[in-house]
Amino acid sequence: MSVEQSTAPPVAPGNRPGVLARMRGTEIRNLGLVAVLAVLVVIGAATSENFLTGDNLENILVSSSVIGVVIVGATFVIIGGGIDLSVGAIVALASVWATTLATQSYGPWMMALCALLVGAGAGLINGLLIAYGKLVPFIVTLAMMVTARGLAARIADNRTQLVTEQPIKDLAKSDVLGIPLLVIILAVVAIAGWVLLNRTTFGRRVFAIGGNEEAARLAGIDVRLNTALLYVLSGSCCGIAAIMLLARTTTGSSTHGNLYELDAIAAIIIGGTLLSGGRGTIVGSILGVLVFTVITNIFILNNLATETQNIAKGLIIVAAVLLQRRANRS
Amino acid sequence: MDKLTLDRRRLFAGTGLLGAGALLAACTSNEPDAAPVASTQAVSSGGNDAAGQEVVIGFSAPAADHGWIGAITTKAEEEAKKYPDVDFQAVEGSNDVNQQISQVETLISRKVNVLVILPFDGNALTEVGIKAMEAGIQVINLDRVFSSPRGARTWIGGDNYGMGAAAGYYLAQQLTAKGVKDPVIAEVQGIADLPLTQDRSKGFEEALATAGFKVSNKVSAQFTVESGQQVTSNLLQAAPKLDGLWNHDDDQGLGVLAAIEQAGRDEFIMVGGAGSKNMMDLIKADSGVMKATVTYPPSMAASAVKLARLVGQKKGMSDLVELGVPASITLTSETITKENVDEYLSLGFES
């Protein structure tokens, strides 16, 4: 029941229904998001001649890439029935740790490794406390959020640390066959996430744990180990995002990743993932991020005040959730 | 270390307010041999620096999560350390006005002699300022203004309107000199709903208007590097060709510059705000869009501590004929360009 695949209605052989009826609920919802995106693209193109330029579309994708990577990891956690409020703070901590003089003097690879290890390590602490310490995810990750940001500020001594390694800075400007490297990183992480979620035993266990933890345990799943792994995965994604942010901003700072936790939850929810766990898709979450990035872009292209933008975002979240409830009932 | 402190103290005895700030900045900066320029000539201080009656100074400011605020806190602490007759009691910085009010109340109940308060929000901290004043504790209001003059004995702070005006005049003058007609001018604000941001924008617009120019694109960031990068990358798409750009804040400026570099843009001139060391280095190098920055010096915190000491010791400012410290001191916002950057380098703060 909890597994996504099982929500598809059984189809009697020889009685092939129409295309829409054959699609699963999540795919219909993703189609709805694609429709929303299409409407936004039409609005963007109609209100600004600069919207449909290659440069601008590239800008939208690159802008989505950092938070996009964070969201892939956070989607796993939410499908698994948990929540990770510490993603923004872990991004900040990983960025600051990677830009300390000690790590910068060993070059770009050491910086990247450092960011990854800090992200995975913070995720591991979250995971151990939640899975083996039996503490509530909300509380543990809230504590991590405050602690990691404090630690980041302490390490950086409240300064913004400049990235001195040119290879890291070049990440933001490089492309492969015209596609920006940051966008490729997001694509790789998203595809890896999709495969892990939909084509592996681990993925099926995540759905099972999120749907009904007790049933999953009775079915012989090591709930604790798999739950802990979810947070390690989320933290590792934050580490990757931190490396990308180092390139984008050419700095490490304790203010990086500000409010990522809320942006992530908003995008994941409008992407059709249930906050109570057990159901969700990576594609939906990525589409959710794109919706928000396109709105920001349209607002700035049209020189509109950014406060109004937040109202628009809020309304979209409510509308998306209302639509999902209708879709679920029918 | 002791010898260094002593030497420093001897140097300071006898320098003016600005000179002291400049030297202080030189000592805190990471440049080992940054020679303090135009600040070492001895000015008669009229004996104000001589040890006097013991003064307990309480200090409260927002959380040091930002280069400028960080510099405010360290400059206040370091200034206080120079006076053996000052007992400096700082509370942990907070961006929660409710918490800042409680912290100031704690300082009041500890019966400090003088309070230096940089409120996160001037309006919200006014009442507790009045409470302190009525309890007989003199308050020095630093930078963000209380809504009532009853809340403070003296206000000292920067000139936000003047900062915008300085940036506007500089851009207007540069673009006019180049003979640009109808320039496209963009503005990257800090947090849009703070009064200080609105004052900066007003000054900028009014100064541009004197040349018949206006702001074409305006975006707001959050004073952070990441937000500066994010809004600027979109802004540059909105304006495929720019003539001038003013960024309100040099801390978020690192992100603004990263976005400009990543977009491969260099057809315009950029002016910064506040006067960070990073930006001054770029202005000095003169290798990119960054041509000037308008100051909003964090050394004002050191000045506030000096004023608090004078108020506590019932002294005046020796360059004025008045018996007491004035009620209000507004610092000027100066424009730093390649021509004068060497004079200011020692005042720059690390982002």
The mean per-residue pLDDT over the stretch B178-191 comes to: 95
Question: Sorting pLDDT into bands at 50, 70 and 90, what band is B195?
Answer: confident
Q: Which of A159, A254, A304 to mutate to test the interface with B (most CBs of B within 10 A)?
A: A159
B215 and chain A: CB distance < 8 Å anywhere?
A: no
Does A11 map to a domain? no
pLDDT tens, position by position, A109-122: 999 999 999 999 99
Which residues of B fall within a CB distance of 8 Å from A171? none
Least confident stretch, A300-314, B12-26, B329-343: B12-26
Mean per-residue pLDDT, A297-319: 87
- Per the domain annotation, does A8 fall within a domain? no
Residue-wise pLDDT for A46-82, tens only, equals 999 999 999 999 999 999 999 999 999 999 999 999 9
To the nearest whole Å, the CA of B312 is away from the closest chain A CA by: 31
**From B226, B238, B350, residue closest to A255, measured CB to CB:** B226
Q: Which residues does B55 contact at the CB level (< 8 Å), separation at least 6?
A: B85, B86, B87, B113, B114, B308, B309, B312, B313
Contact list in B for residue A306 (CB cut-off 8 A) is 192, 219-220, 231
* A318 touching chain B per CB within 8 A: no
Cβ-defined contact of B351 to A257 (cutoff 8 Å): no
**Contacting residues of A for B231, CB less than 8 Å apart:** 300, 306
Give the pLDDT confidence of A146-182 residue by residue, as tens digits.
Answer: 999 999 999 988 788 999 899 999 999 899 999 999 9
Cβ of residue B189 closer than 8 Å to a chain A Cβ: no
Per DSSP, helices labelled H in chain A are 19-22, 25-47, 54-79, 87-99, 101-104, 108-131, 137-156, 166-171, 181-198, 201-211, 213-218, 223-249, 260-270, 282-301, 306-329
Cα of A297 to nearest chain B Cα, Å: 6
Q: Nearest-CA distance from A149 to chain B in Å?
A: 10
Q: Please, which residues have CB within 8 angstroms of residue A272's CB and are 6 or more apart in sequence?
A: A26, A29, A30, A33, A279, A280, A281, A284, A324
Q: Chain B: residue nearest A294 by CA? A: B234
- Of B104-108, B282-286, B316-320, which gets the smallest average pLDDT? B316-320
- Contact residues, B window 279-338, toward A, CB-based 8 Å cutoff: none
Beta-bridge partners for B349: B276
Position A7 in a domain = no
Residue A319: what pLDDT?
84
Q: If pLDDT is split at 50, 70 and 90, which confidence band does B193 have?
A: confident
A146: in domain: yes
Q: What is the pLDDT at residue B12?
A: 41
Q: Is the pLDDT of residue B41 over 90?
A: no
Where in the sequence is the domain holding A275, given as residue range(s)? 21-44+51-329
Size of interface A-B (CB pairs under 8 A): 107
A251 to B255: CB separation less than 8 angstroms, yes or no = yes
Nearest to B350 among A55, A159, A303 (CB): A159
What letter would DSSP give residue B274?
E
Q: Is residue A239 part of a domain?
A: yes
SS3 category, B108? helix
A59 and B CB contact within 8 Å: yes
Does residue A306 lie in a domain region?
A: yes
Question: Are B129 and B139 contacting, i.e. CB atoms less than 8 angstroms apart?
Answer: yes
Dihedrals φ, ψ of B75, to 5°?
Answer: -65, -35
pTM of the predicted structure, to 2 decimals:
0.82
Q: Identify whether A62 is part of a domain.
A: yes
Residues of A in contact with B193 (CB under 8 A): 307
With a threshold of 0.90, tell me whether the complex ipTM lies above it.
Answer: no
In Å, how far are A171, B186, B212, B245, B253 from B183, measured between CA atoms? 33, 10, 10, 11, 22
Tell me which of A1-15, A66-80, A88-102 is least confident: A1-15
Task: Return the H-helix or E-strand segment holding B156.
Answer: strand B154-157
Q: How high is the pLDDT of residue A20?
A: 54
Count of structural domains within chain A: 1
pLDDT mean across residues, chain B: 87
Residue A3 has pLDDT above 70, yes or no: no
Q: Is residue A9 part of a domain?
A: no
Question: Which residues 246-265 of chain A have a CB within 8 Å of chain B?
Answer: 248-251, 253-258
Sort out which chain B residues have CB atoms less than 8 A from A154's CB and list them: none
CB spacing of B254 vs A159 below 8 angstroms: no
Instruction: Please give the structure tokens belonging to residue A184.
Output: 């490729």
Mean pLDDT calculated for residue range B242-270: 96
The pLDDT value recorded for residue A15 is: 53
CATH of the domain at A256: 1.10.3470
B229 touches chain A (CB under 8 A): yes
A233 phi/psi in degrees, rounded to 5: -60, -45
